Amino acid sequence: MRTYRRDLSRIAKEGLTRRLKVRRSDMLEFSSNDYLGLAGHPLLKEASIRAIEMYGSSVAASRLMSGNISLHEELESDLARLTGMESALLFGSGFLANTGLLYSITSSDDLVFADKLNHASLVDGALLSRAGVFRYRHCDTDHLEYFLANRTCRGNRFIVTDSLFSMDGDIAPLRKLEELSMRYDCNLIVDEAHAIGVFGNGGGICREYGVRPHAVIGTLSKALGSYGGFVAGNTELIQYLINSARTFIYSTGLPPAAPAAALKALDLIESQPDSGKKLLNMAADFRGMIESSGFSTSPSESQIVPVRVGENRKAVALSEHLERNCISAVAIRPPTVPAGTARIRLSVTLSHSRKDLNYAASILSSINGDR
């Protein structure tokens, strides 16, 4: 029988042990992706309750069977409009959206060129795709262009990237990637999970930059305060995914509360178009506070603020110190980030007050002063 003691011992020796912790109400939360503070908004809760009362707690089937409800289709229409695409399709999560998309649209005749620091779901989707995969250095368009100029195939080629990288908070060179995709006849795929709701009046960084990729992937579970994922693209692509994406076809449709909450979140974002800019201004101020304490937050340019410490155990110790001071900020270690770059990942949200940010920065400053 397979045992795991040796593997767990190795994980512990490398300082990589992970444990589940129940969220505490007395903690100042800096590990949440609830960027606009909508997950607990009274209007989202009210919308979810109404949806449950109307449809129940589950649709109890895949959408191609009997699990398709009007809330799903209404949300897909709104997400297409938000991202500036023709159509959209909901998935059970952002992870399922990425793996389902990449597996469906590629074959063994194709090539995928992926940023080295893409989210794990994009990495897994590329590996499952059966296409040849080349991973270019993070945001290095010269390295990407070398691959594009020297790696050809019988089928299609795809450039795959996050727009906003979840562990460094930096932004992909999307305009240059679009230029390269056009010059080398590639399809550009962009995961906007951490940018939807924040950039481009909620529509993401592609929308803000005027970049139109082949497909946009997003989630409902971050700035939209709900749960689920989606792919947006032209109508032909979405129809193809309905007929080919296994993670869509063989998954139960999103429970009614999720699309109802997301629809209400989109209403709030539309009525408060400056909320994303407000968040980014708060994050810029917070980065300045941390930098002044002696820590580096580079290369962040968003609401995701990394504090790199390097060694795994040091990151855990820093997280534990913050926890003793009622700040929840999880230590991020390999394989989530490259070896030697363990860090604390701080997320600024609209739920934070100026006092909260000052307090967190002061605790980090006191830690640095004790070194």
Whether omega for the bond prior to residue 256 falls within 30 degrees of 0, making it cis, is no
What mean pLDDT do residues 348-364 have? 96
Of all residues in the chain, the percent with pLDDT exceeding 90 is: 90
CB atoms within 10 A of CB 154: 9
Is pLDDT at 370 greater than 90 in this prediction?
Answer: no
Q: Residue 105: pLDDT above 90?
A: yes
Neighbours of 232 (CB within 10 A): 30
Range among 8-22, 38-52, 307-321 rated most confident: 38-52
Both tokens assigned to 46: 């009210």
- CB neighbours of residue 150 within 10 Å: 8
**Taking a C-beta distance cutoff of 8 angstroms, is the pair 112, 133 a contact?**
yes
Distances (CA, A) of 275 to 99, 263, 355: 31, 17, 19
pLDDT at residue 366, rounded to an integer: 85
Q: What is the pLDDT of residues 278-308, one digit of tens each?
A: 999 999 999 999 999 889 999 999 999 999 9
Mean pLDDT is lowest, of 44-58, 131-145, 233-247, 333-347, for 333-347
Q: What are the chain's domains? A: 42-271 (3.40.640.10), 274-369 (3.90.1150.10)
Tokens for 205, please give them: 């960084």
Does the structure show a pLDDT above 70 at 60?
Answer: yes
Asked if the model's pLDDT at residue 369 lies above 80, the reply is no
Among residues 268, 223, 220, 214, the alpha carbon closest in space to that of 241 is found at 214
Kindly state the tokens that stand for 117.
């620091």
Contact 203, 163 (CB under 8 A): no
For position 368, what pLDDT does the model report? 63
Q: Is the pLDDT of residue 23 over 90?
A: no
Round to whole Å and give the CA distance between 331 and 345: 7
The pLDDT of residue 367 is: 78
pTM of the model: 0.95
Residue 237 pLDDT greater than 70, yes or no: yes
| Integer angstrom CA distances of residue 111 from 66, 162, 185, 190, 288 | 36, 18, 12, 16, 41
Q: Which two tokens stand for residue 36?
A: 């606009």
Q: What SS3 state is found at 157?
A: strand
Mean pLDDT of the chain: 96
Query: For residue 169, how far is the Cα from the chain centroid?
Result: 11
Q: Could you write out the three-class secondary structure of 182-204? A: HHCCCEEEEECCCCCCCCHHHCC
13: CB partners within 8 A, 6+ apart: none
pLDDT top residue among 17 and 192: 192
Pick the closest to residue 158 from 98, 218, 210 (CA basis). Answer: 98
- Separation CA 80–CA 348 (nearest Å): 27
How confident is the model over 221-244, as a mean pLDDT? 98
- What is the arithmetic mean of pLDDT over 102-111? 97
Asked if pLDDT for residue 371 goes beyond 60, the answer is no
> What are the phi and psi torsion angles at 43 (to 5°)?
-70, -35
- Residue 37 exposed, middle or buried by CB count within 10 Å (0-12, 13-18, 19+): middle
Question: Residue 243 — pLDDT band, cuts 50, 70, 90?
Answer: very high
DSSP state of 162: E
Q: Which two three-digit tokens encode residue 342?
A: 């363990």
- Rounded to an integer, what distance in angstroms lies between the CA atom of residue 278 and that of residue 349? 10
Percent of the chain surpassing pLDDT 70: 99
**How many CB atoms neighbour CB 4 within 10 A?**
8
CA distances in angstroms from 95 to 67, 91, 220, 349, 364, listed in the order given: 20, 9, 12, 23, 33
